[in-house]
Structure 1
Amino acid sequence: MQVTLERAALLKALGHVHRVVERRTTIPILSNILFSAEGSSVLLKATDLDLEVTDRLPADVTQAGGTTLPAHILYEIVRKLPDGAQVSLDVTGEATQLLLRSGRSRFHLQALPESDFPDLAAGDFTHRFSLSATDLKKLIEKTQFAISNEETRYYLNGIYLHTAESDGKTTLRAVATDGHRLARIEIPAPQGAPGMPGVIVPRKAVAEVQKLIEGLDADVTIEISPTKARFSFGDVVLITKLIDGTFPDYGRVIPAGNDKLLTVDREPFAAAVDRVSTISSERGRAVKLAMGEGKLTLSVTNPDSGSAVEELEVDYDAAPLEIGFNARYLLDITNQLDGDTALFKLADPGSPTLVLDHEGATALYVLMPMRV
């Protein structure tokens, strides 16, 4: 294999694929990126056996062929080369050695044979549809924070993507929950999505998709099968295995009869929660909300460090109510809202609370209370 590439194009492609590579792995080939040169382009591929990212970039191919190179070392070398540099990769004679040249720099890198590199065979995808990068970004950003980190409940370690009926229309829904809070957002189902199997996209794949759509203004093609999903961003393609588990019936925890309505100015409310929670213990993080007519009192009591109280003028005219929440969860949710106000629908101190921008909003959040 003998190719010459633009440093900027190579760095961008390496940026797309090298993040998938785990820094510690017991399988040496998984530390490497596959290079495959033919025609007038080079294909780069990286995998951790659950997730695979490929990118194709133009190249001056003198001799077609393939090899694999250590991902993180190669990324650092290319990153440190000067802007505008040309990079030539040359495998001659020994297949385990590659010569990288750029200007006056020479690097001899250890390579592993292309034939050893695993292929995350995609199989057949049953459903295919396109989403704008903006819509996909919204589905991820509004739910990602609620993904569980608890490995024992592995079926909560991702975003549940499925179609549902809402007001007589088919919607595409993204849902995530960790058992303490739940996030759900829906958009009109794109053509090709209705009837798709409900799938759980793992946390790592979600994070990679989010990085790949940053700054993208084109459509993303999504293909779904019961075991895998493929996201295509032009020349960049991400294939991920899906979580093999059953997402819980989240509809049962979304309260329908909460009749106590609290409307707050979102930013002053979030700032007040942040201030009073300074006193709270790292473990508990509990903040108490006491509601009366037109007034909300936030308070935190910590036997080790003291107490804090702050009052806000709010829109509330139901019976007085006191309820506790984890301050961090409360801030996570209010930070997801887009409007100037936040609407809380409450029932009693022991029941889940519904939080949304306004009545009929496409995104809703459920927060479990705490004892305070």
Structure 2
Amino acid sequence: MKISVERGVLLKAVGQAQSVVERRNTIPILANVLIEAEGDTVSFRATDLDIEVVDKAAAQVERPGATTVSATTLHEIVRKLPDGALVTLADDGTAGRLTVEAGRSNFSLATLPKEDFPVMASSEYESNFTAAAPVLRRLFDKSKFAISTEETRYYLNGVYMHVAESEGATVLRCVATDGHRLARIDADLPQNAENLPGVIVPRKAVAELRKLLDDDEMQIAVSVSETKVRFATPEITLTSKVIDGTFPDYTRVIPQGNSRKLEVDASEFAKAVDRVATVSSERSRAVKLALDEDRLVLSVNAPDSGAAEEELAVAYSDERLEIGFNAKYLLEIAGQVDRENAVFMFNSAQDPTLMREGNDQSAVYVVMPMRV
């Protein structure tokens, strides 16, 4: 194999691949990227056995072929090469070495046989549809903060993507929860997505998917089966196993009868929470909200470190209410608001609180209160 690729193109392709590779591997081949050159393209394939990413790039292919080399080492070399350099990758197919040349730089890297590289078995996908990158970006970006990190509740370690009914319309919905907070985001159902089986997309796959969604003009081909999910652009294909578990009935957690309404400038609210939380104890990070007629007082009282209080002008006309929250959860939820106003709906100091962005019903957040 012998190919020449522009440094910037190579860096992007190898960077996408090496981010999937686990740092500590018991199987040496999993630390490698599979390079396959044919025609006028080269593909870089990496996997951790749960996720596989394939990135295709344009290249001058002098000799077609395939080999595997350390993903991290190749990425570091390409990263340190000068901008605009033409990089040549070559192996003679026998010596177990890949040479990397650019200008006066020359590297020789150990390779492993391409036959040993595990390629994820292709799946029969039950649902195939196309969605615009901004739609998927919104669904996953606004829900992923609520993914649980508790390994024992593995079925909460991802975003539940499924088809749901909302106010008489069928929508594509993403939900994540860790038991303390919940995010439920809806988008118009893409064409041909009606038969989508509900799947839990793992946390790592959600993070890798984000890299495919930066181009607002891009259309993403989505394929889903009971065991796998695949997101593809013309250059990159990301395939992931889905979490084998049942996502809990989240609808029971979303409060329906909360009637006390608080409307507040989302950005001002987030900044105020952040300021008063500075003195809260690291363990609880508790902040108290005291609500009265058009007035919100945020306060923290931490015996070990001090106290803080800040008042905000808000729209609130119900009876007085005092309720406590984890400051981190409040900040993460307030950080999802794209519109000017955040609307909180309360019931009592013990019940879950619902939050949405203005009058938009397509993004709903729930946060559990805590004693303060």
Tell me, yes or no, whether TM beats 0.5.
Answer: yes
Q: CA deviation at 1:122?
A: 2.2
Check whether the contact 1:261–1:318 (CA below 8 A) recurs between aligned residues: yes
Aligned residue identity for 2:120: L
Distance 1:357 1:87 in 2: 49
Name the SS for the 1:200 alignment partner: strand
Distance 1:300 1:322 in 2: 13
Aligned residue identity for 2:234: G
% identical equivalent positions:
55
- Structure 2 match to 1:21: 21
**2:35 is the counterpart of 1:35:** yes
- Structure 1 match to 2:117: 117
Check whether the contact 2:6–2:85 (CA below 8 A) recurs between aligned residues: yes
Distance 2:275 2:113 in 1: 57
Aligned residue identity for 2:43: L
> Deviations for 1:243-265, whole angstroms, at most 9, x for unmatched residues?
00000100000000001111112
* Matched ranges for 1:133-152 at <5 A: 133-152=133-152
* Matched ranges for 1:218-297 at <5 A: 218-297=218-297
Aligned residue identity for 2:75: Y
> Deviations for 1:151-205, whole angstroms, at most 9, x for unmatched residues?
1111011100000111221100000011100001101100111121100000000
Distance 1:194 1:25 in 2: 39
Name the SS for the 1:10 alignment partner: helix
Distance 2:297 2:159 in 1: 35
* Matched ranges for 1:46-85 at <5 A: 46-85=46-85
Aligned residue identity for 2:35: F
- Structure 1 match to 2:207: 207
Distance 2:166 2:278 in 1: 41
Distance 1:98 1:356 in 2: 54
Name the SS for the 2:222 alignment partner: strand
Name the SS for the 2:154 alignment partner: helix
Of stretches 193-202 and 212-221 in structure 1, the one that deviates more from structure 2 is 212-221
- Structure 2 match to 1:188: 188
Distance 1:106 1:313 in 2: 64
Stretches of 4+ aligned residues off by more than 3 angstroms: none
Distance 1:281 1:26 in 2: 40
Two-structure CA RMSD over aligned residues (Å): 1.2
Q: CA deviation at 1:216?
A: 4.8
Check whether the contact 1:33–1:70 (CA below 8 A) recurs between aligned residues: yes
Check whether the contact 1:147–1:178 (CA below 8 A) recurs between aligned residues: yes
Q: Which runs of 5+ in 1 are unaligned?
A: none
Check whether the contact 1:16–1:212 (CA below 8 A) recurs between aligned residues: no
TM-score by length of 2: 0.98
Distance 2:115 2:216 in 1: 34
Distance 1:91 1:242 in 2: 36
TM-score by length of 1: 0.98
Distance 1:216 1:97 in 2: 40
> Deviations for 1:32-85, whole angstroms, at most 9, x for unmatched residues?
000111122211100000000001112222222110010011011111112222
Distance 1:133 1:79 in 2: 27
Aligned length, in residue pairs: 372
Q: CA deviation at 1:95?
A: 4.2
Q: CA deviation at 1:11?
A: 1.2
Distance 1:104 1:343 in 2: 61
Q: CA deviation at 1:135?
A: 0.6
Q: Which runs of 5+ in 2 are unaligned?
A: none
Aligned residue identity for 1:87: V
Name the SS for the 1:209 alignment partner: helix
Distance 2:338 2:162 in 1: 23
Distance 2:237 2:311 in 1: 51
Distance 1:216 1:34 in 2: 29
